[in-house]
Structure 1
């Protein structure tokens, strides 16, 4: 709270303290600038995923929405749910645990360009056989 010195007009030369009804916003601005810098630095680090070489296609981008469930198959045939490596046998139980009771959850499959077709087909068949039917393949747009 800011304070001002006011003589009060008494003429005795003695100063009286009188509070001002103003808000000091300098500390607030300092904190907001620090938070802005912190979020600018950390935001790009939050979008890190499993590095794969996606095939390029002429498909349009899907509209952005909530955080999708992502299953990734890399070139070595390893399977990742989000960023966690899992064996194929644990894929369906973990998907059910994440999706809850909703089998209409959108699941994106990211397959490396060098991944074997059989590995990708096995992952898709396992997910579909578990009751999830809303599958999507993720690709990169063609660079022109």
Structure 2
């Protein structure tokens, strides 16, 4: 009676289903995209690769943002003889105005060795918000 019915054998499928792996990778991509801006906080500073060298003689004179030992902020743009203390927002506005006129003028920070690290960082953050692409740090030579 069952002679007419033949059982067909199924072939085994040797393919890997990659859909779950793609789903996991998309979720990880979204997580990394959401957390990357939180990890990269801070002030960008161009660190020297070797020993520090002075600015070349043919470069434009730099804007020098200074913090003295009392924590007062100053800006030396090479043209003003009067040195009066500035608030951070005033200093940032002056730097932004100068960079509108001379966008490739270098900006350096000159900080007293006794000033707190927080005040230097606040100065660098205000310079960054004023549009300064990179900030240099002034040092004294050991010679």
Contact 1:71/1:107, CA 8 A, preserved across alignment: yes
Q: In structure 1, the residue corresponding to 2:114 is in which secondary structure? A: coil
Match for 2:52 among 36, 59, 64? 59
2:33 aligned residue? none
Q: Which runs of 4+ in 1 moved over 3 A?
A: 101-104
Deviations 1:83-131 (A, max 9, x none): 4421112111111222225544311111111111000000001111222
Structure 1 counterpart of 2:62: 68
How many residue pairs align between the two structures? 86
Residue pair 1:75, 1:113 contacting (<8 A) in 2 also: yes
More strand per residue: 1
RMSD: 1.8
Structure of larger gyration radius: 2
Partner of 2:88: 88
1:128 alignment counterpart: 128
Counterpart secondary structure, 1:81: strand
* TM-score after normalising by structure 2: 0.54
- Mapping for residues 131-142 of structure 1, pairs under 5 Å: 131-142=131-142
Provide the secondary structure at the position in 1 that maps to 2:60.
coil
Paired with 1:60 and 1:108, the residues of 2 have a C-alpha distance of 14
Does the Cα contact within 8 Å between 2:61 and 2:105 map onto a contact in 1? no
SS, match of residue 85 in structure 2: strand
Evaluate the alpha carbon distance shift between residue 108 and residue 84 of structure 1 in structure 2; reply closer, same or farther with a 3 A threshold. Answer: farther
- Give TM-score, length-normalised by structure 1: 0.53
